[in-house]
């Protein structure tokens, strides 16, 4: 290796094919591009091809990235390889003789061709490169790493029919080592993501089957779809829909490079959870720090984000780190970036471009050592047209844009999320899980869910509390006229019918609305405190209110401790 490096350096400085200053600058640009190999492979290869196009000024060209267990990835001026090209792969360590023969083949075909090879495997490559010459490509270059062919280039003639030189080949040789290493590491990372998803799917499939068997007798109506569960710190990313799976897989692929990601999705779709998944797959080991852009007043943005130095203002009695410093080595997540004040946006743009910032009251710049992910439910392009969002910042943050589908567009996720929330709240509140019937799940699939997963979670919490250990029929869902889903208040279907008949609304009877509502509120409070064994903090948590409000309601309704025994 030392001898090879010494020979390269001699050729680099002294040899007839030595590289000139422009070549070295372009190699430096290539290294910067190669540093982003962890992004989406096609985007990465297109950037490499564009760099080569500027360097060689060829009329057409392409790059093929070979994969052992998947079709090759092709970018450039061919959409598919001719002949048997799609089935060829050398993603294994080649024997020394075959490695040298394949390397010589690429060089021979760049000079006009050569004789057929006795080795059938090499002859297949000979036929492929001959077919590519027939398509008008004249220069071929393999990218090897440890005798394994990771990729290859096929380039058309240079403009003006200038010839490719030894310096051109040396330029590619010099950059191909870093290119191959980066592609190899990126491939390992991508394959690990695939295996992780496949492994989780297999585990959760077995778990779902086991759960279905154990509950089949007690809930034959329940629809228990196979689901994937991915742990994210103290949360779970749960899904079953194929399009959601594609979203998760792509997010894992683009998580590697330190480039901005913009997550776009309606309110309540789980944008922060997807951002945490991207953080988990990034190359950093630091914290995940969320920032709600709608909750910070414009006057506090700089001090919150960049921190401040001692003496910066009256109450600044010591240095205080900002969110950028807190997120060092990790991910800074800007939620609802569309709500960021216009006057703050130039500072975020500079932070992204320069990767430096100055704390309030300080004089020296500090490096920003965090990766930045953004999310919004707004149409930022429309905000740009309306002058409410900077165009340059918009283009800077959406290097990778990932759309998160609303719940209505992934109906397969509705039953698995519903069951997940029911079991989570039942376990948290020490209740028997409610058992949804098939008709209920069908009605939920047909509902639009304007509040998305958040709305589904809130509904699940109410059902878990009101129907512990009982079958839940479709009749518990009803429209309140605004499109929101409400939960029925009756114990079962018969009680619901009896209550509706006893109201007498059709005959014009005037009802005691306040009395009826207070009676139901008393029953609900009493049941919550009884189930919490008198623990009012837990009862308040079950009801989704504070302990203070619970005590206030108890006093207002005239309840006392004896009523809860």
SS (H, E, C) 131-160: HHHHCCCCEEEEEEECCEEEEEEEECCEHH
Distance CA 59, CA 545 (A): 68
SS (H, E, C) 366-413: EECCCEEEEEECCCHHHHHHCCCCCHHHHHHHCCEEEECCCHHHCCCH
Question: How high is the pLDDT of residue 538?
Answer: 82
Considering the domain architecture, whether residues 259 and 359 belong to the same structural domain is answered as yes
Question: How high is the pLDDT of residue 171?
Answer: 79
Mean local confidence (pLDDT), 370-390: 92
Residue 175 CB contacts under 8 Å (≥ 6 apart), including other chains: 27, 30, 31, 34
Confidence category of residue 18, pLDDT binned at 50, 70, 90: very low
Mean local confidence (pLDDT), 228-245: 81
Q: For the chain, what percent of residues have pLDDT higher than 70?
A: 72
Is 438 domain-assigned?
Answer: no
Q: Which of 404, 424, 450 is the last residue of a domain?
A: 404
Of residues 166 and 498, the one with the higher pLDDT is 166
Range in 1-10, 35-44, 399-408 with the lowest mean pLDDT: 1-10
Considering the domain architecture, whether residues 377 and 248 belong to the same structural domain is answered as yes
- Sign of the C-alpha dihedral, residues 519, 524, 527, 532? negative
Considering the domain architecture, whether residues 180 and 306 belong to the same structural domain is answered as no
Mean local confidence (pLDDT), 238-262: 86
pTM of this structure? 0.51
Task: Give tens-digit pLDDT for 54-72.
Answer: 888 898 999 888 765 556 7
Question: What CATH number corresponds to the domain at position 273?
Answer: 3.40.50.300
Considering the domain architecture, whether residues 131 and 248 belong to the same structural domain is answered as no
Is 222 domain-assigned?
Answer: no
Is residue 431 scored above 90 in pLDDT? no
Confidence category of residue 211, pLDDT binned at 50, 70, 90: very low
Work out the angle at residue 562's Cα, subtended by the Cα atoms of residues 561 and 563, and round it to the nearest 5 degrees: 90
Confidence category of residue 383, pLDDT binned at 50, 70, 90: very high
Confidence category of residue 403, pLDDT binned at 50, 70, 90: very high
Considering the domain architecture, whether residues 175 and 266 belong to the same structural domain is answered as no
Question: What CATH number corresponds to the domain at position 529?
Answer: 1.10.10.60
Task: Give tens-digit pLDDT for 491-505.
Answer: 333 444 444 444 444
Distance CA 214, CA 220 (A): 11
Is 377 domain-assigned?
Answer: yes
Question: How high is the pLDDT of residue 377?
Answer: 93
Question: How high is the pLDDT of residue 170?
Answer: 79
Question: How high is the pLDDT of residue 234?
Answer: 67
Is 367 domain-assigned?
Answer: yes
Instruction: Kindly report each contact of residues 154-158 with a partner whose C-beta sits within 8 Å and lies 24 or more positions away, as own/partner.
Output: 154/61, 154/62, 154/64, 154/76, 154/78, 154/129, 155/52, 155/56, 155/58, 155/60, 155/61, 155/62, 156/58, 156/59, 156/60, 156/61, 156/77, 157/58, 157/59, 158/56, 158/57, 158/58, 158/59
Most confident of 33-37, 68-72, 372-376, 395-399: 372-376
Considering the domain architecture, whether residues 33 and 160 belong to the same structural domain is answered as yes
Range in 111-115, 183-187, 476-480 with the lowest mean pLDDT: 476-480
Question: How high is the pLDDT of residue 8?
Answer: 45
Q: Which of 404, 428, 445 is the last residue of a domain?
A: 404
Considering the domain architecture, whether residues 112 and 178 belong to the same structural domain is answered as yes
Residue keyed to tokens 């096609």: 42
Question: How high is the pLDDT of residue 202?
Answer: 45
Is residue 448 scored above 80 in pLDDT? yes
Q: Which of 381, 404, 427 is the last residue of a domain?
A: 404
Kindly tell me the burial class for residue 462, based on how many C-beta atoms sit within 10 Å of its own C-beta (0-12, 13-18, 19 or more): middle
Mean local confidence (pLDDT), 452-473: 88
Question: How high is the pLDDT of residue 217?
Answer: 41
Question: How high is the pLDDT of residue 514?
Answer: 65
Mean local confidence (pLDDT), 110-127: 78
Crossing angle between the packed helical segments 547-556 and 536-543, to the nearest 10 degrees: 90
Confidence category of residue 155, pLDDT binned at 50, 70, 90: very high
Question: How high is the pLDDT of residue 261?
Answer: 92
Considering the domain architecture, whether residues 61 and 173 belong to the same structural domain is answered as yes
Question: How high is the pLDDT of residue 272?
Answer: 92
Strand 261-264 vs strand 400-403: parallel, antiparallel, or unpaired? parallel
Question: How high is the pLDDT of residue 481?
Answer: 32
Q: How far is CA 133 from CA 65, 102, 114, 140, 209, in A?
A: 19, 17, 12, 9, 54
Distance CA 299, CA 349 (A): 18
Considering the domain architecture, whether residues 148 and 268 belong to the same structural domain is answered as no
Distance CA 115, CA 137 (A): 18
Cβ atoms within 10 Å of 151's Cβ, excluding its own: 21
- Sign of the C-alpha dihedral, residues 102, 108, 113, 119? negative
Q: For the chain, what percent of residues have pLDDT higher than 90?
A: 16
Confidence category of residue 364, pLDDT binned at 50, 70, 90: confident
Question: How high is the pLDDT of residue 13?
Answer: 42
Of residues 179 and 359, the one with the higher pLDDT is 359
User: Any idea how long the chain is?
Assistant: 565
Question: How high is the pLDDT of residue 65?
Answer: 83
Confidence category of residue 203, pLDDT binned at 50, 70, 90: very low
Question: How high is the pLDDT of residue 186?
Answer: 58
Residue 83 backbone dihedrals phi, psi, to 5 degrees:
60, -130
Is 497 domain-assigned?
Answer: no
Structure tokens that stand for 289 in this block = 């720090």
Of residues 520 and 265, the one with the higher pLDDT is 265
Number of domains in the chain: 3
Domain span at residue 75? 2-189
Question: How high is the pLDDT of residue 55?
Answer: 83
Range in 81-85, 300-304, 306-310, 522-526 with the lowest mean pLDDT: 81-85
Is residue 212 scored above 60 in pLDDT? no
Question: How high is the pLDDT of residue 76?
Answer: 87
Mean local confidence (pLDDT), 185-203: 51
Cβ atoms within 10 Å of 426's Cβ, excluding its own: 18
Contact 141, 166 (CB under 8 A): no
Considering the domain architecture, whether residues 162 and 23 belong to the same structural domain is answered as yes
Considering the domain architecture, whether residues 10 and 82 belong to the same structural domain is answered as yes
Distance of CA 378 to the CA centre of its chain: 18
Is 504 domain-assigned?
Answer: no
Mean local confidence (pLDDT), 411-438: 88
Range in 117-126, 162-171, 490-499, 539-548 with the lowest mean pLDDT: 490-499
Is residue 15 scored above 50 in pLDDT? no
Kindly tell me the burial class for residue 233, based on how many C-beta atoms sit within 10 Å of its own C-beta (0-12, 13-18, 19 or more): exposed
Question: What CATH number corresponds to the domain at position 73?
Answer: 3.30.450.40
| Residue 233 DSSP symbol | T
Contact 443, 478 (CB under 8 A): no
Confidence category of residue 139, pLDDT binned at 50, 70, 90: very high
Is 421 domain-assigned?
Answer: no
Is 202 domain-assigned?
Answer: no
Considering the domain architecture, whether residues 167 and 254 belong to the same structural domain is answered as no
């Amino acid at each position: 290796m030392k001898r090879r490096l010494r020979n390269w350096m001699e050729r680099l400085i002294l040899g007839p094919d030595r590289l000139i200053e422009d070549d070295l600058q372009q190699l430096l640009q290539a290294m910067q591009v190669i540093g982003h190999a962890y992004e989406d492979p096609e985007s990465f290869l297109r950037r490499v091809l564009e760099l080569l196009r500027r360097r060689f000024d060829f009329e057409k060209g392409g790059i093929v990235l070979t994969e052992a267990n998947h079709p090759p990835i092709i970018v450039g001026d061919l959409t598919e390889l001719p002949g048997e090209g799609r089935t060829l792969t050398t993603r294994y360590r080649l024997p020394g003789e075959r490695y040298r023969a394949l390397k010589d083949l690429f060089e021979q075909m760049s000079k006009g061709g050569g004789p057929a090879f006795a080795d059938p495997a090499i002859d297949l490559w000979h036929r492929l490169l001959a077919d590519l010459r027939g398509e008008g490509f004249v220069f071929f270059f393999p990218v090897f790493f440890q005798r394994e062919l990771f990729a290859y280039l096929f380039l058309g003639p240079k403009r003006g029919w200038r010839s490719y030189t030894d310096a051109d080949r040396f330029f590619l040789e010099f950059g191909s080592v870093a290119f191959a290493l980066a592609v190899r590491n990126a491939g390992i990372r991508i394959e690990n993501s695939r295996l992780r998803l496949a492994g989780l799917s297999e585990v959760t499939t077995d778990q779902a089957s086991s759960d279905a068997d154990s509950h089949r007798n007690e809930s034959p109506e329940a629809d228990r779809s196979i689901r994937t569960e991915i742990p994210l710190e103290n949360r779970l990313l749960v899904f079953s829909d194929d399009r959601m799976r594609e979203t998760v897989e792509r997010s894992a692929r683009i998580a590697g490079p330190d480039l901005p990601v913009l997550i776009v999705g309606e309110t309540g779709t789980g944008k922060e959870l997807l951002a945490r998944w991207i953080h988990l797959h990034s190359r950093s080991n630091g914290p995940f720090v969320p920032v709600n852009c709608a909750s910070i007043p414009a006057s506090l943005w700089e001090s919150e984000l960049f921190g401040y130095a001692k003496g910066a203002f009256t109450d600044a009695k010591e240095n205080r780190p900002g969110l950028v410093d807190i997120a060092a080595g990790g991910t800074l997540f800007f939620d609802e970036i569309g709500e960021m004040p216009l006057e703050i946006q130039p500072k975020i743009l500079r932070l992204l471009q320069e990767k430096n910032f100055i704390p309030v009251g300080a004089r020296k710049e500090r490096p920003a050592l965090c990766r930045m992910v953004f999310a919004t439910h707004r149409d930022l392009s429309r905000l740009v047209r309306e002058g409410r969002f900077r165009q340059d910042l918009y283009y800077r943050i959406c290097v990778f844009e990932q759309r998160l589908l609303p719940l209505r567009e992934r109906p397969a996720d509705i039953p698995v999320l519903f069951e997940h929330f029911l079991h989570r709240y039942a376990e948290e509140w020490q209740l028997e899980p409610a058992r949804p019937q098939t008709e209920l799940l069908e009605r939920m699939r047909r509902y639009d869910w304007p509040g998305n997963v958040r709305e589904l979670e809130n509904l699940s919490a109410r059902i878990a509390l009101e129907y512990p250990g009982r079958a839940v029929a479709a009749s518990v869902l009803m429209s309140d006229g605004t499109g929101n889903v409400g939960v029925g208040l009756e114990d079962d279907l018969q009680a619901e019918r009896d209550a509706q008949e006893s109201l007498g609304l059709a005959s014009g009877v005037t009802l005691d609305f306040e009395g009826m509502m207070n009676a139901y509120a008393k029953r609900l409070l009493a049941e919550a405190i009884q189930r919490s064994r008198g623990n009012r903090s837990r009862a308040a948590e079950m009801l989704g209110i504070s302990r203070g409000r619970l005590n206030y309601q108890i006093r207002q309704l005239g309840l006392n401790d004896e009523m809860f025994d």
